[in-house]
Structure 1
């Protein structure tokens, strides 16, 4: 089976992890700070905070921005459920804005219309809008930031797919147009730490809040304490936080992977360009690239006729092509249906989902493997 995604581990990665295993620090050690510094420099961000997963990062991000019961987060339905779930963890409400039918990211037009309509009706505007750089394609962040200033909401970038991507010639994660940006290092992502994530920000106060919340809300900084320190052992829990720490083994793997990040992205872009060229004559929709961005191609989603999707998917799987589907619209899940969401709420997201198939794409994918995938897609689609 040729999978839709696969990690790319070399001997240097293994050596980096083994070195930590032989050291004095397995967690809360120097490899974590090194990883954070390396990542922040790469993205052009002032601060980076490593965490145990992107879900943890999203949860800490909304907590750091003060989301709580009675609050409201808007996001898109074309994402993994975690993007929306973290608001429910805080007791807040969630609503969804439809996607752009070209980019599959948040529709700025729909967002603008919804904000204006809510304000005109005297309704509740969002406290936070979390946008998702789907498949590695950056959202239209400049206009989203302008809307944030006009309507008074904070902005989180869910960049789980987008490490190495660029927007307006700047790396995603610089936080030029957002408060916080969250990344994933799951094995199918562009770089991996096994499980793990990172949150970047340009705000030193948010960075401090993230670092404390990932470790139970605890500080050892005397200047942050509410009482005088009793000694070197003393700490205070300032907030009800979590154990969302990453280990030094994972951080060491992340540092090692960062050496090859640009190579990973270059290979993915080359594979995507080959798909674009060789599949262009088929009756399928290929990914669109917005001119303001440069995708890192975590995914290569095609769209086929909805009535043919199940058959094409099953036939490709039967031929050893590990296709997948990203994503089932979040609000159609039972948890969200019980909150009152119904089919038809975001038509563009539903139309995309109905025909979506993610083709295999990963940095170690060989030209021969890609040729096998393309031949199978061509045969199955043309004989549907």
Structure 2
């Protein structure tokens, strides 16, 4: 990794660096050690659902988000970001829709975390983001960065937000490269090249960054970073499914497949009229003349509970759909548990896309274009049934 040398010297807050400790406060060092002793990395392969999930007392995820918040915050969103969780109100397990059940979800999360730990032990830092993307999911950053810092504080900054890392790098005139862990390592390497940070550990580097170069709209105080007193009673309930604003069905389709859209709309209308399902649906035919197209889609996705994807070769070839619909929908699935429901309309390479991890309503080798009207309506009926039962997934 190389850094720019032909620019003006980086301006650091030298007074701050001289007046503040170079190492993590003793009580926070003890907190990190408590986490490692409670959840030694070699025992993670045997961790149970009760020991892992948010919603259970003293669990791995509870320690990541709340008990060790002072060691780097991963607050925000819902417990869906952990892949599987316990719902207090429903008294049952819940998991992201891309997994078949709670045990499969747990196995995937454990496999991803263990693969990250093994790669770090081998100092294969360049492989971390690929591992995170493949096993944990492209935007499950909390499970990528927070455990790695807690187990390997000498190798990583306690920062799990890639946009913050990019912001800090740009503040120092550097060009951000790669995804979360590559950015984390890039920033750490950059800071260690400067004599002003000699003797500083990664925690105090993080404190310096947020106090002296805070990301826009986010001023973090030294007191908040180092000494929060977090009790369960003071925390928002993140053990529940995504917020009540996620109530709609979003239909994502190519305009070449309008006939299929119309047939699905008829099935949805029948379900609504006969009160089989009380749900609103949205597709881009509801955008009014003069309305901002991008803004309307963005607002609809924010309220989406289930996304029905009408997959065809035209759909997969659309840059607009990929950038403006698929990307935010997949992020919402990983971070907030939004259900992704592919319906295969015609021959295409669905199985070779990253959508293939979601169970399609119909067999990709037997798309709607190959079946008769009766069989098509059977598929649309299964779509409605899945929407009705989506709270159980």
Q: Give the TM-score normalised by structure 1.
A: 0.26
Q: Point out the structure with max Rg over C-alpha.
A: 2
Between the two structures, name the one with larger relative contact order (CA 8 Å, sep ≥ 6). 1
1 or 2, which has the higher helix percentage? 2
